[in-house]
């Protein structure tokens, strides 16, 4: 569903050239939840922004849903982006619009008839459990509620892929869990492929099928989450694992905090 | 004060308001697109374009550096073509609008710069075209700041229109100049001042109120 082939990204500063990504290749299969973990400055933000070409790679190919995005005209790219959802650490909701109007935004972009917009917005408000907040402005919402609106907004245009750029990093642990379980639920019910980046191993452990570790712009380890947790091959991965405050997936449909032994584990 | 005098002052107030708000509207019609172009084409902008940015920027700077009183005189041939005459309220609208437009464009550029960058990025990620980014993200999000800028512009235009009065634009400026400076009638001159101050206060108050009504950020 998502394929990166030998992607590199260099930033040209006044004198120096900064290499943010070096020769990255990865594949995310349809319906998978794929996590990329790394410390700040490792290049993970650049990586996720290269997938919808918010950042254009200096070299390499980005293929999403069979389309080589680098080869598209600006107009085609704009259309292709409507099939790629994205949520952000700081939510990026429009302050001038109500919750319902925020969710309607991508549908307005594609000139959806008003009647269809209203129906879809209602559906999505129910999905994220914010029916009662439809007419409120984002300023009156909590962080978790804002991220729910952002998720509803990005799902409005039925994307096949969802990119999560540190989507839970600005949230407290409890809210993080509720957002993660919402993402898992969406992935389950709609079969949306999710690629998320994070600096927290517990996020990976909670919902990801596969994980890749990024360091200094290179992928240094990649595999099934269970596999990587059981047999980490690099020192950095071991450190991420040991620093993780585990979230434990409950047997039911939600996620719960495991409070045994202090902290979250 | 005699009745004809009062009638003259009221007509002057009306003319000043027509000049202020009329040129304000034309100034925005010209300045808003220019400001949006400046914002979009600036370095690191959505439609970064060095040549367009430098060109528009240079034109704006040139017009902003011409003192208004000279701009009026300098523009007389052009004003005659557009308005048919170089005297009166209608003629004054031409240089006033041209004087306001570059001012408005810089103000719009600044207001748009205040919109958090993440919102533009989110809109791009959702597949918004550059025009949709301007219409659906930048302008609505910058509205409170644009309204504040509009009241600053209108207040500046009250002053400009009074200056125009000295060279036959009509309005309170002309009355103040003729009766105050030429005829030295202190009552008329002071009444003109009070009316101008009142107009400025009214604009400021309205701007403040509308700006607050449209601001959903706090």
Can you spell out the DSSP letters for A99-150?
HHHHHHHHHHHTT--HHHHHHHHHHHHHHTT-GGGTTS-GGGS-HHHHHHHH
pLDDT in tens, A152-174: 999 999 999 999 999 999 999 88
Mean pLDDT within A32-56: 92
A20 vs A247, more confident: A20
Distance to chain B for A19, nearest Cα, Å:
19
pLDDT in tens, B129-155: 999 999 999 999 999 999 999 999 999
For residue B6, give both structure tokens: 């009062």
> Would the pLDDT of A244 be above 90?
no
Which chain A residues are closer than 8 Å to B143 by Cβ? 96
Which chain A residues are closer than 8 Å to B122 by Cβ? 86, 88, 92
Quick check: A8 contacting B, CB < 8 Å?
no
> Would the pLDDT of B199 be above 80?
yes
pLDDT in tens, B1-52: 788 889 999 999 999 999 999 999 999 999 999 999 999 999 988 899 999 9
Quick check: A92 contacting B, CB < 8 Å?
yes
Asked if A139 and B118 come within 8 Å (Cβ–Cβ), the reply is no
pLDDT > 70 in chain A, percent: 92
* C-alpha closest to that of B163 among B95, B83, B86: B95
Mean pLDDT within A181-206: 93
pLDDT in tens, A80-121: 999 999 999 999 999 999 999 999 999 999 999 999 999 999
ipTM of the complex: 0.86
Mean pLDDT within A43-55: 93
Asked if B122 and A86 come within 8 Å (Cβ–Cβ), the reply is yes
> Would the pLDDT of A148 be above 60?
yes
pLDDT in tens, B82-113: 988 888 888 999 999 999 999 999 999 999 99
Q: How far apart are the first and last CA of chain A?
A: 34
pLDDT > 90 in chain A, percent: 77
Total residue length of chain B: 218
């Amino acid at each position: 569903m998502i394929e990166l082939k030998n992607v590199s990204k260099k930033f040209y500063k006044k004198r120096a050239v900064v290499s943010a990504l070096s020769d990255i290749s990865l594949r995310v299969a349809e319906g998978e939840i794929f996590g990329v973990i790394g410390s700040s400055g490792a290049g993970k933000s650049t990586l996720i922004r290269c997938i919808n070409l918010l950042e254009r790679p200096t070299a390499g190919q980005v293929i999403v849903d069979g389309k080589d995005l680098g080869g598209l005209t600006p107009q085609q790219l704009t259309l292709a982006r409507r099939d790629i959802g994205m949520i952000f650490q700081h939510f990026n909701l429009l302050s001038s619009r109500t919750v319902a109007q925020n969710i309607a935004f991508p549908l307005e972009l594609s000139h959806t008839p008003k009647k269809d917009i209203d129906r879809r917005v209602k559906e999505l408000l129910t999905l994220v459990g914010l029916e009662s907040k439809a007419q409120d402005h984002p300023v009156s919402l909590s962080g978790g509620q804002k991220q729910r609106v952002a998720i509803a907004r990005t799902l409005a245009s039925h994307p096949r892929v969802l990119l999560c750029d540190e989507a839970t990093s600005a949230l407290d642990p409890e809210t993080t869990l509720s957002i993660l379980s919402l993402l898992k639920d969406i992935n389950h019910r709609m079969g949306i492929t999710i690629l998320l980046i994070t600096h927290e191993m517990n996020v990976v452990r909670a919902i990801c099928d596969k994980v890749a570790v990024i360091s200094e712009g290179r992928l240094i380890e990649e595999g099934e989450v269970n596999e990587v947790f059981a047999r980490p091959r690099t020192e950095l991965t071991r450190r991420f694992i040991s620093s993780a405050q585990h979230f434990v997936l409950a047997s039911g449909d939600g996620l719960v905090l495991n409070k045994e032994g202090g902290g979250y584990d | 004060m005699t009745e004809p005098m009062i009638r003259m002052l009221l007509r002057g107030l009306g003319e000043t308001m027509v000049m202020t708000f009329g040129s304000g509207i034309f100034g925005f019609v010209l300045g808003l697109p220019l400001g949006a172009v400046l914002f979009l084409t600036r370095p690191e902008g959505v439609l970064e374009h060095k040549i367009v940015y430098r060109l528009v920027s240079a034109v704006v700077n040139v017009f902003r550096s011409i003192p208004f009183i000279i701009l009026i005189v300098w523009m007389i041939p052009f004003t005659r073509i557009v308005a048919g005459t170089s005297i009166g309220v209608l003629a004054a609208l031409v240089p006033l609008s041209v004087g306001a437009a570059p001012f408005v464009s810089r103000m719009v550029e600044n207001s748009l710069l205040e919109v958090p960058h993440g919102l533009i990025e989110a809109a791009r990620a959702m597949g918004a075209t550059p025009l949709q980014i301007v219409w659906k993200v930048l302008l609505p999000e910058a509205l409170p700041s644009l309204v504040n800028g509009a009241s600053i512009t209108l207040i500046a235009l009250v002053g400009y229109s009074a200056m125009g009065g000295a060279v036959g634009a009509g309005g309170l400026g002309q009355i103040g100049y003729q009766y105050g400076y030429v005829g030295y009638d202190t009552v008329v001159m002071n009444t003109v001042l009070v009316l101008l101050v009142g107009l400025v206060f009214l604009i400021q108050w309205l701007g403040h109120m509308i700006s607050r009504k449209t601001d959903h950020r706090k």
